[in-house]
């Protein structure tokens, strides 16, 4: 699956992708939402109000990401990564100095822009562009950075919060990010990971689609029919995890039991990521994506089913499988469909759509809770959405450029 030669020859580029995805955790919902209870208590805001603040900051980030994500096509990776990690570290310091709900909007914008948006975008784009025949494996290793963050950070943060104030954790995060910048620049020095695809002879065309501009991609029916499925994991995962404190309270579970189960989530994600990479290289993401939402649908159905303690690990396993599939497939599918020449701009559009959907989820679910909707009702609605989005993927055509070329 991962040959010694592949890892030995490209360890710098692979570790760069892993590190950027891991460090993006400080802008991801599974970390930010752990502080929801403290923020609501300190500033006297409701679940719906906090969700709305989070959504405003995230949606604003999605709008800017359409532009900022293109920078990875123009800047050297070592400069791009330093810019992104500096911005994320400064925003973590702003979280330490948080004074009220208005400032929180800007802090959320920064965390989502530099963390969820640009840190992960930079790491995955570098892996997807650099490799062709082994793109799935490269994206897999980058995606394991998400998995490491999901497995390690929630339980660590909950443990530290029992002995230290929540603001101190963000100060520690800023220190870690600033310290990581020299190491990241060293990894990507001397041209490692810059835009040049590595492919075995005769395999590039199989793994990489015909080059499209971002304008051509926006006119593609093949994009829009796949978009509901592509947006589903970020919407559902973000919405449920953002409101995880409310879920735990409604179900009568212990927060320590829930947070500890992120290790199960991380293990399931890691196993899926490792298995999915070679499958993507063999069958391609564009063919496998029709199965993407099945485990996500099952996770929602499990959460809908009841309050028993066994539901937590089963939910985490299904959600982890879904996250692992999404991380690998979304890293590769854009290059497979639309080529690599404008990959940064194209992935920026897709990433913005996913960030936008993740921005809608906290407000939509929070306001629904404020109006009396139960976790069970929300979970069932999400499962039904997965079914509808999967049906659209089944009828999505190939890109028109590819269809025209095959007719010639």
Report d(CA 351, CA 116) in Å as an integer. Answer: 9
Condensed to tens digits (0 to 9), the pLDDT of residues 259-315 reads: 778 888 888 988 887 888 778 877 877 888 888 899 999 999 999 998 888 899 999
Report d(CA 165, CA 175) in Å as an integer. Answer: 16
CA-wise closest residue to 207 among 151, 130, 293: 130
Q: How far is CA 115 from CA 23, 58, 143, 361, in A?
A: 7, 11, 14, 18
Token pair for 394: 């089944």
Report d(CA 337, CA 319) in Å as an integer. Answer: 26
Are 321 and 268 in contact by the 8 Å Cβ rule? The answer is yes
Are 199 and 328 in contact by the 8 Å Cβ rule? The answer is no
CA-wise closest residue to 325 among 119, 146, 152: 146
Report d(CA 84, CA 86) in Å as an integer. Answer: 5
Structural domains of the chain sorted by starting position, each given as residue range(s) with its CATH number in brackets:
10-189+206-400 (1.20.1250.20)
Condensed to tens digits (0 to 9), the pLDDT of residues 313-347 reads: 999 999 989 988 887 787 678 777 887 677 777 77
Condensed to tens digits (0 to 9), the pLDDT of residues 174-203 reads: 999 999 999 998 888 655 445 444 444 344
- CA-based max dimension of the chain: 68
């Amino acid at each position: 699956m991962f040959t010694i030669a592949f890892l030995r020859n490209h360890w710098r580029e692979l570790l760069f992708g892993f590190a950027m995805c891991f460090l993006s955790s400080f802008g991801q919902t599974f970390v930010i939402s752990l502080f929801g209870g403290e923020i609501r208590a300190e500033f006297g805001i409701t679940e719906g109000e906090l969700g709305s603040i989070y959504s405003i900051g995230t949606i604003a980030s999605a709008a800017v990401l359409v532009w900022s994500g293109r920078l990875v096509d123009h800047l050297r990776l070592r400069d791009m990564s330093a810019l992104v990690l500096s911005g994320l570290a400064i925003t973590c310091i702003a979280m330490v100095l948080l004074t009220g709900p208005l400032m929180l909007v800007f802090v959320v914008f920064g965390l989502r822009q530099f963390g969820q948006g640009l840190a992960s975008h930079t790491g995955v784009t570098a892996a997807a562009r650099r490799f062709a025949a082994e793109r799935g494996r490269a994206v897999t290793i980058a995606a394991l950075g998400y998995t490491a963050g999901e497995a390690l950070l929630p339980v660590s943060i909950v443990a530290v919060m029992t002995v230290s104030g929540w603001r101190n954790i963000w100060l520690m995060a800023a220190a870690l990010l600033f310290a990581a910048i020299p190491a990241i620049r060293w990894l990507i020095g001397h041209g490692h990971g810059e835009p040049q695809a590595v492919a075995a002879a005769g395999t590039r065309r199989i793994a990489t689609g015909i080059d499209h501009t971002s304008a051509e991609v926006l006119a593609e029916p093949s994009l829009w029919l796949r978009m509901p499925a592509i947006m589903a994991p970020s919407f559902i995962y973000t919405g449920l995890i953002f409101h995880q404190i409310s879920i735990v309270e409604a179900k009568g579970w212990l927060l320590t039991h829930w947070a500890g189960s992120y290790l199960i989530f991380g293990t399931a994600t890691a196993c899926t990521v490792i298995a999915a990479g070679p499958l993507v290289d063999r069958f391609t993401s564009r063919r496998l994506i029709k199965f993407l939402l099945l485990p996500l649908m099952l996770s929602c159905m499990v959460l809908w089913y009841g309050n028993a303690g066994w539901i937590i690990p089963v939910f985490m396993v299904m959600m982890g499988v879904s996250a692992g599939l999404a991380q690998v497939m979304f890293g590769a599918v854009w290059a497979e469909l639309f080529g690599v020449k404008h990959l940064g701009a194209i992935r920026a559009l897709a990433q913005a759509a996913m960030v936008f959907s993740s921005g809608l989820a906290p407000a939509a679910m929070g306001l629904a809770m404020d109006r009396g909707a139960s976790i069970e009702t929300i979970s069932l609605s999400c499962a039904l959405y997965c079914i509808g989005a999967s049906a659209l993927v089944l009828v999505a055509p190939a890109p028109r450029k590819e269809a025209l070329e095959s007719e010639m």
